[in-house]
């Protein structure tokens, strides 16, 4: 009951955000306007509200029917409903309600019909990745392994990975925070296919110990095309980074289906020591097929036995663990396990000598019914070997 109330509150809060966004950027008051705008990427993290502007409304004062389709011909209807035209200046709006889930990275089609039976053409839109477009690698205030300085990469969270659209990204890197003259830049880098993140390999060698600044922007219809904030990072020997032996930074969460229904959405709940409670707090539910990207406080080095301890809370779930040299990979698998309370992974399983970035992937089938705690429920990730050797970061293993 408690979680249901919380869910209702979060939906209400999200709806307030969505209506604000539409008021400023939806364009529903322009002549002939519809929302979502045809061919645009929209935020899948917000409940959707369809709108036809006052200029587009035919048969004023009558009911208008809205239909959402899974195909471009309008043959497969996945939701529909109607709304009376109240005569308001904003036109006619309809929301499919909370039972309809906008799945991230999915293309949808829709159409409306007025009270006299006249149909609009079929419009389309693309539901974004949950947190697409974020600069994630290196994170702001983060690190670059000095073993990568001759082949450094920058990484962005992909904005839309479904069919029908191919976003690109612009990258710039600077050696001064004034960000006036980039030491390297790339416009129109194609999005990596079949991945959560796009990495751009810089044609420069960075200085060991140097601090750099970078930014990214997204090129996709409907997505803000301004530069991201400037992220700074330091090139260093990652074995010398001191910090706690648990996941200390939440990098990215990529839910695949049920994100709008999941009530435990905070990546920060996977950080620190295990603290999930009987009141159902202190964990993130990853979603079926969802992925979670974390950075450890202290770099792990391989020792006899398993190093990584993943704490799972609600039930027994199937997950796979990877490690990589950056927040965005490339990823080396350490194996999969049914995880109840805690499960362990060994760096040696992947031939890895050290690591500080971890990717967890939920391996449950995606056909299940979405609910509050869909997918793995991650409470914490600990480094538990009690062994550390700075000499082990001397050369790259990937
Ligand atoms: Ca080991
Ligand atoms: Ca679960
Ligand atoms: Ca926790």
Residue with tokens 């089938």: 365
Query: pLDDT tens digits for 318-329?
Result: 999 999 999 999
- Ligand 1: distance of its center to the CA of 197 in Å? 28
- Ligand 1: distance of its center to the CA of 387 in Å? 10
Do 28 and 108 belong together in one domain? yes
- Ligand 2: distance of its center to the CA of 273 in Å? 19
- Locate the DSSP E strands across 151-261: 153-157, 168-174, 184-190, 197-201, 211-219, 231-236, 247-254
Gap between the Cα atoms of 294 and 281, Å rounded: 19
> Does residue 12 surpass a pLDDT of 60?
no
Domain annotation covers residue 299: yes
Q: Which among 102, 127, 152 is the end of a domain? A: 127
Strands 40-42 and 123-127: parallel
Query: pLDDT tens digits for 174-214?
Result: 999 999 999 999 999 999 999 999 999 999 999 999 999 99
Q: Please give the DSSP secondary-structure letter assigned to residue 210.
A: -
C-alpha 91: how far from its chain's center?
A: 33
Q: What ligand has the least distance to the C-alpha of 352?
A: 1
- Ligand 2: distance of its center to the CA of 270 in Å? 14
Domain annotation covers residue 284: yes
Contact 153, 201 (CB under 8 A): yes
Q: What ligand has the least distance to the C-alpha of 275?
A: 3
Do 200 and 291 belong together in one domain? no
Rounded to 5 degrees, what are φ and ψ at 117?
90, 0
Do 268 and 171 belong together in one domain? no
- Ligand 3: distance of its center to the CA of 277 in Å? 9
> Does residue 153 surpass a pLDDT of 70?
yes
Spell out which residues have Cβ within 5 A of ligand 3, the ion.
269, 275, 282, 379-380
User: How many domains does the chain contain in total?
Assistant: 3
Q: Is the dihedral of CA 314, 315, 320, 322 positive or negative?
A: positive
Which CATH number characterizes residue 289's domain? 2.60.120.260
Do 154 and 232 belong together in one domain? yes
Do 375 and 255 belong together in one domain? yes
Do 155 and 214 belong together in one domain? yes
Domain annotation covers residue 242: no
Domain annotation covers residue 20: yes
pLDDT cut 90: percent of the chain above it: 74
Please give the pLDDT value at position 234: 98
Gap between the Cα atoms of 127 and 251, Å rounded: 21
Q: What ligand has the least distance to the C-alpha of 381?
A: 3
Do 42 and 77 belong together in one domain? yes
- Ligand 3: distance of its center to the CA of 380 in Å? 5
Domain annotation covers residue 398: no
Gap between the Cα atoms of 302 and 23, Å rounded: 54
- Ligand 3: distance of its center to the CA of 312 in Å? 9
Q: What is the pTM of this model?
A: 0.89
Do 22 and 111 belong together in one domain? yes
- Ligand 2: distance of its center to the CA of 313 in Å? 8
Domain of 23, in residue numbers: 2-127
Domain annotation covers residue 241: no
Q: What ligand has the least distance to the C-alpha of 373?
A: 2
Which CATH number characterizes residue 72's domain? 2.60.40.10
Question: Three-state DSSP class for 5?
Answer: helix
Do 57 and 86 belong together in one domain? yes
Do 269 and 213 belong together in one domain? no
- Ligand 3: distance of its center to the CA of 321 in Å? 18
Domain annotation covers residue 374: yes
Strand partners, 250: 294
Q: Which among 217, 236, 255 is the end of a domain? A: 236
The closest of 337, 354, 345 to 398, measured between CA atoms, is 354
> Does residue 278 surpass a pLDDT of 60?
yes
Do 385 and 273 belong together in one domain? yes
Query: pLDDT tens digits for 68-101?
Result: 999 999 999 999 999 988 888 889 999 998 788 8
Q: What ligand has the least distance to the C-alpha of 281?
A: 3
Contact 259, 130 (CB under 8 A): yes
Do 108 and 173 belong together in one domain? no
Please give the pLDDT value at position 312: 96
Q: Which among 70, 102, 127 is the end of a domain? A: 127
pLDDT cut 70: percent of the chain above it: 90
Question: Three-state DSSP class for 374?
Answer: coil
The closest of 305, 372, 317, 375 to 342, measured between CA atoms, is 317
Domain annotation covers residue 71: yes
Per the prediction, the chain carries an average pLDDT of: 89
Residue with tokens 């991650």: 378
């Amino acid at each position: 009951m408690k979680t249901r109330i919380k869910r209702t509150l979060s939906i209400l809060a999200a709806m307030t955000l969505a209506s604000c966004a539409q008021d400023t950027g939806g364009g529903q008051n322009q002549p002939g306007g519809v929302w979502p705008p045809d061919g645009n990427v929209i935020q899948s993290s917000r409940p959707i509200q369809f709108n036809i502007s006052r200029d587009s409304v035919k048969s004023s004062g009558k009911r208008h029917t809205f239909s959402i389709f899974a195909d471009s011909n309008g043959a497969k209807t996945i939701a529909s409903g109607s709304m009376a035209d109240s005569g308001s200046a904003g036109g006619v709006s309809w929301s499919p309600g909370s039972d309809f889930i906008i799945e991230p990275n999915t293309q949808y089609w829709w159409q409306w019909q007025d009270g006299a039976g006249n149909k609009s053409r079929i419009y389309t839109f693309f539901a974004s990745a949950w947190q697409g477009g974020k600069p994630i690698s290196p994170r702001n205030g983060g690190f670059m392994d000095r073993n990568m300085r001759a082949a450094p990469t920058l990484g962005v969270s992909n904005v839309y990975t479904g069919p029908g659209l191919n976003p690109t990204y612009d990258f710039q890197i600077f050696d001064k925070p004034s960000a006036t003259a980039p030491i390297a830049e790339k416009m129109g880098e194609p999005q990596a296919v079949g991945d959560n993140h796009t990495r751009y390999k810089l044609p420069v060698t960075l200085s060991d110990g140097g601090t750099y600044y970078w930014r990214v922007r997204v090129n996709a219809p409907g997505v803000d095309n301004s530069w991201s904030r400037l992220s700074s990072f330091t090139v260093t020997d990652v074995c010398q980074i001191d910090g706690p032996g648990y996941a200390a930074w939440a990098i990215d969460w990529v839910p695949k289906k049920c994100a709008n229904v999941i009530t435990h959405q905070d990546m920060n709940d996977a950080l620190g020591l295990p603290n999930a409670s009987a009141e159902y707090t202190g964990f993130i539910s990853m979603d079926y097929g969802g992925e979670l990207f974390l950075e450890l406080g202290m770099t792990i080095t391989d020792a006899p036995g398993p190093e990584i301890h993943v704490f799972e809370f609600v039930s027994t779930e199937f997950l796979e663990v990877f490690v990589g040299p950056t927040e965005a990979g490339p990823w080396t698998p350490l194996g999969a396990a049914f995880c109840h309370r805690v499960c362990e992974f060994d760096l040696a399983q992947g031939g890895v000598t050290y690591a500080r970035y971890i990717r967890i992937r939920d391996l449950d089938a995606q056909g299940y019914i979405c609910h509050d705690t869909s997918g793995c429920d991650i409470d914490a990730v600990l480094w538990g070997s009690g062994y550390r050797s700075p000499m082990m970061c001397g050369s790259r293993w990937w």
